[in-house]
Amino acid sequence: MSETYAALPQGREQDYKDFLFKFLVIGSAGTGKSCILHQFIENKFKQDSNHTIGVEFGSKVVNVGGKSVKLQIWDTAGQERFRSVTRSYYRGAAGALLVYDITSRETYNALTNWLTDARTLASPNIVIILVGNKKDLEADREVTFLEASRFAQENELMFLETSALTGENVEETFLKCARSILTKIESGELDPERMGSGIQYGDASLRRLHRQQQQTRRPDCAC
């Protein structure tokens, strides 16, 4: 408990109340990871996009199931040469967007590797959503929706097709992932207090927890 709190940046994160989730965006180069993030945060399409170097960062506070959650999103470079650099960011991620490009089978084929990486390097309970990007380029589609959703089913992933260009499903992707994490927390499947869970309590839930602890502690003292 105290561990989690100490990791909170003090006095600066007053903009979210309940949780902070660490997210990861992974996938092969050129699948549009940065564009998805940009669309999610800025609500517009990033026109002159280049390859990401290393990792970049973005954050946004969203409302999921009545809870205010801050998403701390690490956007990793997809290029192979950055693999070693980006790995250190996998650790302790609560959720991940595994992105491929529906117009490129190559990126789809690489999914297994990415998935292994994510499952081994990030926390084992990481919630992963498979994202088929560039939905707007229907004419160039190489990976069918059905095929991808089968893959998702087999690997216990959620699945959505998005378009960073039009913004379709972009926000939904993040929300869906966050919602799933929240459900797991509520069901006890995920323990936010475990180290490296990628989840932190916000001020409000901290206070609530504190109160609960006091309430449970009191009978102990009486004994």
Partner 1 sequence: MDIKKKFKILIGKQDALRSPVEDSQISPEQLSTDPAVAKIKEQLRDPHVDQEILESIEETYYSSEDFDTSEYELQKLPETLDLQQIDADRGRLRGQLDVVSRKVYELVLQNHPAYATELQRVMELQRTLQLAGTICGTGRKQLMKARESFTATSLGLLANYRKRHQLMGLLKSLHTIKTLQRTDLRLREMLEEEDYSGAIQLCLECQKAASTFRHFHCISELNSKLQDTLEMIEEQLDVALSKTCNNFDVGHYEKVQTAYRLLGKTQVAMDQLHMHYTSAIHNTAFTIVLGYVELYSGTGSTNFQKKQYSDLCEHITVESFTPCLTDLCKALWEVMKSHYQTMLWHEQNNKDIAETEQTSSNVENTFNRRYVKQKLQHGMGRIWQDVQQKVKTFILGTDLSFFKFEEFIQVLDLVNRLIEIGEEFCGSKSESLQDVLKQQSLNYFRNHHRVKMDELRMFLENEGWELCPIRSNFNLLQLLEFRFMQNWSQNSSGVNSPAKMDAKQETKTNLGTGYFFNFEEKCNPFDLQPEEEEQEDVFAKSMDRDGFDDGSVESDSDSDVPEELKQEYIDEHTGETQPNHRRPRTRSRSGFKSVPIVTNTSLNILRVMGRYMKMMTILKPIAFDVITCMSQLFDYYMYTVYIFFASDGPEINDRTMNNRLKISLQRIHESLIADETVPGINGAPEERTDKIPQAHLSPIVDLSNREKLYGLSERIVAAESLVFLAEQFEFLQSYLDGTIPQNKKAFLQQFYSQTVKMAAELRKPIYRVVSTQAIDYTSLVYQMSMVKWDVKDIMSQHNTYVDIILKSFEDFKFRLHEVSRHVPISKVVHDTLWEHCVRLANRMFVEGYANAKKCSNEGRAWMQLDFQQFLTKLEKFVDIRPIPEREYVETYIKAYYLPEIQLEVWLQDHKEYSNKQLLALISSVDHINRKARQRLVNMVDEFDKNRR
Q: Is 9 in the site for partner 1 (CB under 8 A)?
A: yes
Residue 36 CB, nearest approach to partner 1 (Å): 13
Residue 213 CB, nearest approach to partner 1 (Å): 9
Q: Is 167 in the site for partner 1 (CB under 8 A)?
A: no
Plot region of 5 (φ>0 → left; ψ -120 to 50 → alpha; else → beta): alpha
What mask of x and - would describe binding to partner 1 in positions 16 to 55, judged by CB under 8 A?
-------------x----x---x---x---x-xxxxxxxx
Q: Which is nearer to partner 1, 50 or 215 (CB)?
A: 50
Site for partner 1 in 181-210 (CB under 8 A): 206-207, 210
211 vs 214: CA distance, rounded Å: 5
Residue 189 CB, nearest approach to partner 1 (Å): 24
Residue 174 CB, nearest approach to partner 1 (Å): 17
Q: Is 217 in the site for partner 1 (CB under 8 A)?
A: no
223 vs 219: CA distance, rounded Å: 6
182 vs 204: CA distance, rounded Å: 15
* Residue 90 CA neighbour count, 13 Å, CB half: 24
Strand 19-27 and strand 67-76: the pairing is parallel
Site for partner 1 in 72-111 (CB under 8 A): 72, 74-75, 79-82, 84-85, 87-89, 91
For residue 124, give the amino acid letter: P
Check: CB of residue 122 under 8 Å from CB of residue 160: no
125 vs 192: CA distance, rounded Å: 11
Q: Which is nearer to partner 1, 82 or 142 (CB)?
A: 82
160 vs 43: CA distance, rounded Å: 18
Which residue from 99, 109, 118 is spatially nearest to 164, judged by alpha carbons?
A: 99
Which residue from 7, 21, 44, 16 is spatially nearest to 167, judged by alpha carbons?
A: 44
Residue 177 CB, nearest approach to partner 1 (Å): 19
Q: Which is nearer to partner 1, 50 or 187 (CB)?
A: 50
Residue 37 CB, nearest approach to partner 1 (Å): 8
Q: Which residues are at the interface with partner 1 (CB under 8 A)?
A: 2-3, 5-6, 9-13, 29, 34, 38, 42, 46, 48-58, 72, 74-75, 79-82, 84-85, 87-89, 91, 206-207, 210
